[in-house]
Structure 1
Amino acid sequence: MTETGIYVLSTGTVLPGPAVDNATLAHYLNVPPLWQQWIDTFIGTDSRHFSVDLDTGERLYTLADLGSEAAARALSAAGVHASDIDLIVMGTSSPDNLMPATVNLVADRLGITAVPTYQLQSGCAGAVQALDVARQMLRTGRHRTALVIGADSCAKHMGLATNLASASPAEQINGVLFGDGAGAAVLTTLRPDPSANAAVLYPVLVRFAGLNQPPGQIIEWFGKAELHSDQPAAVEDYKAIEALVPSMAVNTLRDLLDELAWKEAEVDYILPPQLSGRMTARIMAEFGLPHAYEISCVKETGNTGNALPFFLIEGVLPRMAEGDRAVAVAIESSKWIESAFAIEKV
């Protein structure tokens, strides 16, 4: 399969504040030492970054802050000016407000105007959905250069200033799995300079897979009438995620390779779902791609949701030689969306 029309020209990423390791997190959440051991053993994520001050609960960074910084870094890396962007698509599960859309706050900060802007509300597949929307719109020929952003700030939903020792496991798990961050990429239909660190973006796979399946994660929005509710802001059915995500990831990978007519041995790099260190290792084992090099970051960053694909692209592009191929898979567990994309170094 040959397609050279859409290129990933650059990426940019950002993590807020210092890394918070498991011992520090356990201290702030006022949980016993055994809980830290549980994080180390059963989650396998070593650290994460938060947009809030753990001492005071003060919010230090908004999602617009993170998205704007990641986008600015992507533009700089591409040597592209804000005036060159004629399309912006953003994927997030945690916008700053229901309205205005965070994507428009980012555009305003970057000085981008008079272009289409889209914000997709989705979990971990949202960034891949955003790549797909941007790619499809670029193929129409009406646009030449797109800015694609994926960002999440989970800290405001997690109640990090709250003692989680007595919370339910469905609430506790969110406090250790997730971190905050943002990523962005510049896509273009213009063939890059040979010296550019660019790659072809192939057709993207995105599909809903949650028919008759209960949600694996629920994140609530509370209006003024509900502020006194005892309902938790975020809960996760981690057992369901453990049971379903590995097989969904394997099926998604296989179907994308079939669509591209790529053999397993032709995959040089694999960018697996970044749920946690332990889950990512399990999924890699089930992929069964012994010749593909794994690109992962979740042990150090935590699960940053829609930012993760851009961290992975940023990690793989400098490693790729001309003709190398990389495949990424992301699974959204709130109502189960399978997604994947592939790039090839030009």
Structure 2
Amino acid sequence: MVDRTVRILAAGTALPGAPIDTETLAARFGMDRLWQQWVDTFIGTRTRHLALDLETGEPRESLADLATSAAAAALADARVSAEEIDLVVLGTATPDTLMPATVNVVADRLRIDGIPTFQLQSGCSGAVQTFDVATSMLATGRYRTALVIGGDVIAKHYDVTTDLAALPPEELVNYVLFGDGAGAAVLTAEGHDGSPEIRTVLTRVAGLDRRPGQVLRWYGLADRDSARAPADEDYKAIEELVPQLADEVAQELLDDLGWEREGVGYLLPPQLSVTMTDKITKRLDFPLAEEITCVGETGNNGNALLFFQLERLLARMTAPSRAIAVAIESSKWIKAGLALEQHGSV
């Protein structure tokens, strides 16, 4: 096996429609001021973007639409053509259809053909998992350049006629926590010394004997009239376990590379909500790191989040410097992370 350095050239993102603030959500669903205060205090997310018309519930953009836009932006920023891509990997919890795979719809729209494509079904760790697959394949020497994509369109599970006041907390939280979006990045093993190096990628399942923290159901013809909610989550379990798993990821990355916390200049923490991100960041305790966060503006858009963070990181990462990114998937509990290093002198 040929061991080659893999670098990230560029990232691109896409959001559907205009930002929707909590006041707009409250007005649409008839929620009072106390509910808005609850969202501000316990969630903290200020705006989110939804791929549906909030008044009618009609879909406006699909995951393929958003992923294609994000991928095109990443390719343009990297100055890489579709013909130069040797591998495409998409991570999502919410594909547009079971078949065809959304990754292949995106590839077709980008005029990419004749290469390996992979679609990973995963929650928030799926974005990191795309890096795991792509960097492993690039390191073999058989492939030169990869396009990795992550995104989710969660709003298609919303019922805009729902009486939010009647929902239990495990269902209510989904209406304020999540948003839609997609992101992409171009990775290469072909030179580009000025671009950040992907030093290591970590993904570990951590769900043994643990109940799922989140369930997202896909109904078929046989059970579409089920009384079960399309989505629910155990927010208390998530609040307790995610900071712990995030700390484990960060420590394993540091140990693997021989880095000290004080030597990390940028931290990309898990992006569940503003409140949870603050809690996790304090637990991680990187004293000199600049926090790269986006969830306050984008909402929790799942597998897109890492790419929004990377887009911001790449715009400000100096040389030399190091960055740690952590993502935790709370459905059946996957811990994931990656480390980047920008070499060179100041």
Distance 1:207 1:34, change over 3 A: same
Q: Deviations over 1:163-222 (max 9, x none)?
A: 22211111101111100000000000011164xxx2101120100001000000000010
Distance 1:192 1:214, change over 3 A: same
Counterpart residue number, 2:206 = 209
The code of the aligned residue for 1:301 comes to T
Pair 1:325 & 2:322 matched? yes
Q: Look up the SS of the partner of 1:205 in the other structure.
A: strand
How many angstroms apart in 2 are the aligned matches of 1:322 and 1:154? 37
Q: Deviations over 1:25-79 (max 9, x none)?
A: 1111222221111000111111100000001111000000000000000000000
How many angstroms apart in 2 are the aligned matches of 1:286 and 1:162? 36
Counterpart residue number, 2:279 = 282
How many angstroms apart in 1 are the aligned matches of 2:266 and 2:282? 14
Q: Deviations over 1:5-38 (max 9, x none)?
A: 1010100001110000010011112222211110
How many angstroms apart in 1 are the aligned matches of 2:162 and 2:63? 22
Alignment check: 8 A CA contact 2:9 2:196 kept: yes
How many angstroms apart in 2 are the aligned matches of 1:178 and 1:294? 21
Q: Deviations over 1:266-298 (max 9, x none)?
A: 100000000000000011111111211101010
Q: Deviations over 1:56-106 (max 9, x none)?
A: 111000000000000000000000100000100000000001111000000
Counterpart residue number, 1:71 = 71
Deviation at 1:265, TM superposition (A): 1.1
Pair 1:117 & 2:117 matched? yes
Counterpart residue number, 1:48 = 48
Q: Look up the SS of the partner of 2:86 in the other structure.
A: coil
Q: Deviations over 1:101-141 (max 9, x none)?
A: 00000000000000100000000000000110000010111
Q: Look up the SS of the partner of 2:282 in the other structure.
A: helix
Q: Deviations over 1:216-244 (max 9, x none)?
A: 00000100111211110000100000011
Alignment check: 8 A CA contact 1:276 1:303 kept: yes
How many angstroms apart in 1 are the aligned matches of 2:60 and 2:30? 22
Alignment check: 8 A CA contact 2:56 2:160 kept: no
Counterpart residue number, 1:18 = 18
* Match of residue 337, structure 1, among 326, 334, 337: 334
Matched positions, count: 341
Pair 1:315 & 2:312 matched? yes
**Of 311-320 and 180-189, the range deviating more from structure 2:** 311-320
How many angstroms apart in 1 are the aligned matches of 2:99 and 2:31? 36
Distance 1:115 1:282, change over 3 A: same
Deviation at 1:314, TM superposition (A): 0.6
In structure 1, the gaps of 5 or more residues are none
* Match of residue 244, structure 1, among 237, 241, 245: 241
Q: Look up the SS of the partner of 1:253 in the other structure.
A: helix
Q: Look up the SS of the partner of 1:204 in the other structure.
A: strand
Normalising by structure 1, we get a TM-score of: 0.97
How many angstroms apart in 2 are the aligned matches of 1:99 and 1:236? 26
Alignment check: 8 A CA contact 1:28 1:161 kept: no
Listed as ranges, the matches of 1:1-346 within 5 Å are 5-192=5-192, 194=194, 198-346=195-343
How many angstroms apart in 1 are the aligned matches of 2:290 and 2:323? 9
How many angstroms apart in 1 are the aligned matches of 2:74 and 2:143? 18
The code of the aligned residue for 1:238 comes to Y
Q: Deviations over 1:131-156 (max 9, x none)?
A: 10000010111110000000000001
Normalising by structure 2, we get a TM-score of: 0.97
Alignment check: 8 A CA contact 1:31 1:163 kept: no
The code of the aligned residue for 1:269 comes to Y
Alignment check: 8 A CA contact 1:325 1:342 kept: yes
How many angstroms apart in 1 are the aligned matches of 2:182 and 2:11? 11
How many angstroms apart in 2 are the aligned matches of 1:124 and 1:63? 15
The code of the aligned residue for 2:233 comes to E
Percent identical pairs in the alignment equals 55
How many angstroms apart in 2 are the aligned matches of 1:218 and 1:7? 34
The code of the aligned residue for 2:238 comes to I
Q: Pairwise CA RMSD of aligned residues?
A: 1.1
Q: Look up the SS of the partner of 1:203 in the other structure.
A: strand
Alignment check: 8 A CA contact 1:29 1:163 kept: yes
How many angstroms apart in 2 are the aligned matches of 1:159 and 1:171? 11
The code of the aligned residue for 1:203 comes to T
In structure 2, the gaps of 5 or more residues are none
The code of the aligned residue for 1:29 comes to F
